[in-house]
């Protein structure tokens, strides 16, 4: 970009020899004026007028003065070409740049990193993260975590990362993953996430397709595994090791490519921030720049403001891409899902309806953080002042006992594993204990079914409303049977279930998502008094679309749509909307739906129609509304029945859903995994 050198009043007339040959009104232009010309055509120069006032120069916006030959201007002015650095970050996070009074609320959030200023102000000295299984073990408060994110973000700037550039983040669950993720977002970069266990070929394909410029990896082991391939086929600008030291690198094929460890990035950022504040530039920054939420271009500031005259400062827009999440690619190469800050903020602001987390509530985290489900949950946790404890598959059982989380957010497999472990422990006990425990469980299952009937949460697809007389009879029958079974259920609660609850260690609720929760597992946990919620979503929707709530936990469903989310069921062939209770393809619309697939407009068009409806590819139905009877509280909940592409069509034309058969078989303790196939 070409700009005029900032001139003082004295240097304007003598030292710089810049002068104006012709002006119509010298008084109008202040202390001095100059017309800077740019070649437009042969012998024609487009004139832009600058005026000088004291030591500052301003371009007169939206005014042009024609061409120099025609207007008769003859201008001489010293110019130079400078690189203007774009500094983009969350204005609410980087407090040095934005000075606002009062605590930041969720209404002020425009980007995901905005949550950290709010949380640091509200919950500053509360523990935010506990990471006991990495070296060194770490515990950080909200203030400490916010500062670590700021330092990492500034460290990225120091080593040359620019806004909108894409950085690959190939790492597993830890607090440093969170810092790297938020540090990248905070300075306007886009992170491209994947786990360390993916194949080298898959990681390379994701890196190249996303046009990433640099790489952050979990540890030296991953670096050693991918270094040779990446050095010849990707050539990252630099590499960051989140864990471990550079001395552990055994492959030296990336000559000339800088490699940083985590501490070096933090130290670079910390030193840069300290130098900035010590210089006083932050205090001298004009008030309009501090308070503006618009893009600001300070051509020239005071001559001693050496930092800010070289920066273009931009805030992150809520519509900017925050991350690229690549799908599993079971039907081809992985597709890069573009999720914006707006997509993710919708999850942060509305997840509370499902999990009413309170400050200092504890969550146990084991899922891969690059999964959209775990990621959105983590952001929600930190926006509400809760504590997150990182665990691993190996340490999960011990940590569940030691930390006693209020909530366990996980996938169906984890709850299936807990179920199998309880069943195995009962089966290996004495004959009397085993008989007693299984009898108690059967009675409790029957009791809970009667309870669902009289409470109105018994799920049904029927659109026919029960008569008042029939509904009263059903309610009385369920009440009577429940009253008979209740004493046995209460005895079982005291003798058996309390011990199981203590062993599991979940204090408030488990939340299952990311897959189909088997009905027998769902009913079992209800019977033993462990609250289990179930949700539904997909990567393309950031991910949560619907979930059961503590106030209306309808078993067999995935609950009601979360706020601002629309569902409709359409016919697979015609695409026409179907009435409640009819099974078809699930389509959804809401602010959490992705921006699209990266560099794949055809796939985007196939997934999201012009009206914003996302085709999930899932089969399901919406429960009809009833004013009375056993299903009176089920209206509007979403029920899923498998994937459309998994449907088996028999030679007779009959459709078979394998999910129902698989769930029926999984009830047996003799079957661990099963898949139903057919042609």
Confidence tier at 659 by pLDDT (50, 70, 90): low
Q: Which residue has the higher pLDDT, 96 or 560?
A: 560
Question: What is the structure's pLDDT at 299?
Answer: 31
Confidence tier at 677 by pLDDT (50, 70, 90): confident
Average pLDDT over residues 3-26: 34
Confidence tier at 671 by pLDDT (50, 70, 90): confident
**Residue that is written with structure tokens 């999990």 in the block:** 355
Question: What is the structure's pLDDT at 556?
Answer: 96
Fold held by 88-128+142-279+312-316:
Rossmann fold (3.40.50)
Nearest to 521 by CA among 428, 417, 621: 417
Question: What is the structure's pLDDT at 433?
Answer: 95
Average pLDDT over residues 316-325: 96
pLDDT at 646 over 90: no
Query: Which residues, 6+ apart, have CB-to-CB distance to 555 below 8 Å?
Result: 452, 457, 459, 519, 522, 523, 526
Model confidence over 254-286: pLDDT tens digits? 778 899 999 999 999 999 877 766 665 555 554
Query: Which residues, 6+ apart, have CB-to-CB distance to 29 below 8 Å?
Result: 23, 49, 51
Q: Which residue has the higher pLDDT, 27 or 614?
A: 614
Question: What is the structure's pLDDT at 305?
Answer: 40
Model confidence over 48-57: pLDDT tens digits? 444 444 444 4
Average pLDDT over residues 143-160: 94
Q: Say how far residue 71 (Cα) sits from the centre of its chain.
A: 57
Confidence tier at 152 by pLDDT (50, 70, 90): very high
CA 607 vs CA 325, 485, 574, 617: distances in Å:
16, 49, 16, 9
What pairs with residue 313 in β-bridges? Answer: 87, 296
Structure tokens at 159: 């080593």
CA 289 vs CA 51, 215, 519: distances in Å:
21, 33, 57
Neighbours of 78 (CB within 10 A): 13
In a 3-state reduction of DSSP, which class is residue 491?
Answer: helix
Residue 458 CA to residue 630 CA, distance in Å, equals: 5
Residue 502 CA to residue 496 CA, distance in Å, equals: 10
Confidence tier at 679 by pLDDT (50, 70, 90): low
Nearest to 382 by CA among 603, 200, 140, 215: 140
Question: What is the structure's pLDDT at 235?
Answer: 86
Percent of the chain scoring above 70 in pLDDT = 75
**What is the SS3 string spanning 178-208?**
HHHHHHHHHCCCEEEEECCCCCHHHHHHHHH
pLDDT at 37 over 50: no
Indicate the pairing of strand 544-547 with strand 532-537.
Answer: antiparallel
* Residue 172 contacts residue 158 (beta carbons within 8 Å): no
pLDDT at 414 over 50: yes
Which CATH number applies to 362-646: 3.40.50.620, 3.40.120.10, 3.40.220.10, 3.40.50.12780?
A: 3.40.50.12780
Cis check: omega of the bond before 543, within 30 degrees of 0:
yes
Structure tokens at 565: 């989310």
Question: What is the structure's pLDDT at 670?
Answer: 73
Question: What is the structure's pLDDT at 669?
Answer: 66
Average pLDDT over residues 390-411: 96
pLDDT at 16 over 60: no
Average pLDDT across the chain, whole number: 83
Any idea which of 78-82, 161-165, 538-542 has the lowest mean pLDDT? 78-82
Confidence tier at 106 by pLDDT (50, 70, 90): confident
Q: Which residue has the higher pLDDT, 519 or 300?
A: 519
pLDDT at 602 over 60: yes
491-526: b (≥16 Cβ within 10 Å) or e: ebbeebbeebeeebbbebbbbbbbebbbeebbbbbb
Average pLDDT over residues 147-171: 95
Model confidence over 340-371: pLDDT tens digits? 999 999 999 999 999 999 998 999 999 999 99
Domain with CATH 3.40.50.12780 in the chain: 88-128+142-279+312-316, 362-646
């Amino acid at each position: 970009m070409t700009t005029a050198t900032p001139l003082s009043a004295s240097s304007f007339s003598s030292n710089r020899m810049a002068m104006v040959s012709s002006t119509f009104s010298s008084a109008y232009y202040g202390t001095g004026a100059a017309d800077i010309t740019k070649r437009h055509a042969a012998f024609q120069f487009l004139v832009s007028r600058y005026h000088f006032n004291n030591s500052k120069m301003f371009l007169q916006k939206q005014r042009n003065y024609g061409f120099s030959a025609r207007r008769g201007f003859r201008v001489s002015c010293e110019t130079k070409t400078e690189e203007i650095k774009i500094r983009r970050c969350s204005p609410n996070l980087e407090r040095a740049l934005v000075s606002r009074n009062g605590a930041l609320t969720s209404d002020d959030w425009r980007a995901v990193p905005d949550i950290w200023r709010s949380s640091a102000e509200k919950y500053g000295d509360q523990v935010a993260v506990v990471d006991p299984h990495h070296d060194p073990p770490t515990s950080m408060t909200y203030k400490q975590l916010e500062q670590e994110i700021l330092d990492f973000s500034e460290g990225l700037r120091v080593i040359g990362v620019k806004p909108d550039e894409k950085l690959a983040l190939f790492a597993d669950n830890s607090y440093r993953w969170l810092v790297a993720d938020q540090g990248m977002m905070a300075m306007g970069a886009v992170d491209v996430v994947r786990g360390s266990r993916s194949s080298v070929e898959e990681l390379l394909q994701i890196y190249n397709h996303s046009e990433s410029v640099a790489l952050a990896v979990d540890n030296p082991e991953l670096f050693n595994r991918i270094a040779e391939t990446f050095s010849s086929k990707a050539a990252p600008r630099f590499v960051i090791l989140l864990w471990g030291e550079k001395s552990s690198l055994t492959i030296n094929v990336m000559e000339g490519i800088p490699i940083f460890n985590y501490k070096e990035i933090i130290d670079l950022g910390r030193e840069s921030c300290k130098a900035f504040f010590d210089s006083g530039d932050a205090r001298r920054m004009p008030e309009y720049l501090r308070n503006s939420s618009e893009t600001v271009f300070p051509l020239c500031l005071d001559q001693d403001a050496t930092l800010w005259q070289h920066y273009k400062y931009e805030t992150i827009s809520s519509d900017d891409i925050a991350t690229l999440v690549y799908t599993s690619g079971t039907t081809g190469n992985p597709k890069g899902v573009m999720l914006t800050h707006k997509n993710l903020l919708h999850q942060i602001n509305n997840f509370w309806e499902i999990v009413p987390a309170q400050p200092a509530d504890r969550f146990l985290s084991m899922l891969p953080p690059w999964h959209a489900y775990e990621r959105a949950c983590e952001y929600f946790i930190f926006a509400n002042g809760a504590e997150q404890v990182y665990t691993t598959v190996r340490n999960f059982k011990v940590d569940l006992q030691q930390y006693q989380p209020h909530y366990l957010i996980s996938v169906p497999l984890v709850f299936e594993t807990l179920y199998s472990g309880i069943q195995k422990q009962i089966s290996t006990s004495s004959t009397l204990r085993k008989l007693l425990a299984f009898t108690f469980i059967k009675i409790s299952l029957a009791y809970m079914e009667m309870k669902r009937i009289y409470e109105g949460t018994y799920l049904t697809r029927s659109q026919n409303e029960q008569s008042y007389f029939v509904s009263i009879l059903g309610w009385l029958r369920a009440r009577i049977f429940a009253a008979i079974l209740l004493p046995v259920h209460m005895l079982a609660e005291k003798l058996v279930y309390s011990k199981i609850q203590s062993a599991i260690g979940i204090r408030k609720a488990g939340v299952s998502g990311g897959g189909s929760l088997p009905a027998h597992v769902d009913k079992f946990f209800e019977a033993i008094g462990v609250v289990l919620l179930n949700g539904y979503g997909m990567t393309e929707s950031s991910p949560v679309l619907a979930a059961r709530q503590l106030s209306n936990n309808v078993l067999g469903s995935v609950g009601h749509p979360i706020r601002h989310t629309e569902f409709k069921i359409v016919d697979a062939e015609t695409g026409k909307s179907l009435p409640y209770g009819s099974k078809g393809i699930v389509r959804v619309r809401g602010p959490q739906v992705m921006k699209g697939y990266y560099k794949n407009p055809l796939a985007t068009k196939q997934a999201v129609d012009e009206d914003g409806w996302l085709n999930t590819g899932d089969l399901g139905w919406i429960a009809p509304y009833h004013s009375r009877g056993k299903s009176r509280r089920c209206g509007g909940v979403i029920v899923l029945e498998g994937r459309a592409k998994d449907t088996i069509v028999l030679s007779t034309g009959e459709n078979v859903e394998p999910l129902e058969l698989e769930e029926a078989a999984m009830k047996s303790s003799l079957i661990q995994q099963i898949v139903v196939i057919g042609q």
